[in-house]
């Protein structure tokens, strides 16, 4: 088992807090630091797992803070931004058009249109209209009109 310095441990803890799998973390550590570690060694740095329960308090706190930030601050993730997604779709559509792949270009254009129309959000646009699309008519009864209408309803119920 490789001995890890604080920087590598922090990297592992933060990666796990961001829901990276142990296998993904193993690959990332190899790429970033040139270290070969096992999935089990990675899992020992996850306080949500049984073999990570003995993790030092500072690493547990780092995991907790990183997880909370990851779950609440999606602005750091480019693909979570509508403008980024549209720009990427635009580049892809331009490339597929150059390749004369018109079917894929059409699909990308459709996806961009849906993106612009908020088809990929949970927002709902609700519009209310009256008869034939006109304004909704409203009426206000006076106190006497209300009492009269109520009396009529009660009389009709007696039948």
| 126 inside domain | no
pLDDT confidence bin for 120, thresholds 50/70/90: low
| 24 inside domain | yes
**62 plus 94 within the same structural domain:** no
Q: Residue range 100-109: average pLDDT?
A: 94
Q: CA-CA distances (angstroms) from residue 33 to 7, 36, 43, 50, 57?
A: 10, 9, 18, 26, 24
CB 115 within 8 A of CB 83: no
Q: Which two tokens stand for residue 54?
A: 């003995």
**98 plus 40 within the same structural domain:** no
| 159 inside domain | no
* pLDDT recorded at residue 154: 84
Q: What range does the domain containing 62 cover?
A: 6-72
**88 plus 68 within the same structural domain:** no
* pLDDT recorded at residue 106: 93
pLDDT tens digits, 44-99: 999 988 877 889 999 999 999 999 988 888 777 888 888 889 999 999 999 999 99
pLDDT confidence bin for 124, thresholds 50/70/90: low
DSSP string covering 116-138, please?
HTTTTSS--------GGG-PPP-
**63 plus 24 within the same structural domain:** yes
| 121 inside domain | no
| 37 inside domain | yes
**21 plus 67 within the same structural domain:** yes
CB 2 within 8 A of CB 35: yes
* pLDDT recorded at residue 63: 94
**61 plus 92 within the same structural domain:** no
**59 plus 84 within the same structural domain:** no
**63 plus 90 within the same structural domain:** no
CB 19 within 8 A of CB 46: no
* pLDDT recorded at residue 141: 81
pLDDT confidence bin for 27, thresholds 50/70/90: very high
Count of the separate structural domains present in the chain = 2
Predicted structure pTM score: 0.54
pLDDT of 126 higher than 60: yes
| 96 inside domain | yes
**67 plus 105 within the same structural domain:** no
Share of the chain above pLDDT 70, in %: 91
């Amino acid at each position: 088992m490789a001995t890890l310095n604080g920087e590598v441990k922090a990297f592992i803890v933060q990666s796990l807090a961001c829901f990276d799998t142990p296998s993904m973390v193993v690959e990332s550590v190899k790429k970033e630091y040139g270290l070969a570690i096992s999935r089990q060694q990675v899992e020992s740095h996850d306080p949500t797992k049984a073999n990570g329960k003995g993790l030092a308090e500072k690493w547990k706190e780092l995991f907790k803070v990183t997880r909370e930030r990851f779950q609440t601050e999606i602005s750091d993730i480019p693909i979570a931004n509508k403008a980024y997604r549209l720009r990427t779709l635009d580049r892809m559509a331009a490339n597929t058009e150059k390749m004369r792949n018109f079917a894929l270009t059409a699909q990308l254009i459709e996806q961009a249109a849906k993106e612009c129309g908020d088809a990929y959000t949970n927002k709902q646009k609700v519009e209310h209209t009256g008869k034939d699309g006109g304004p909704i008519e409203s009426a206000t009864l006076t106190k006497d009109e209300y009492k009269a209408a109520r009396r009529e309803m009660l009389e009709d119920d007696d039948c």
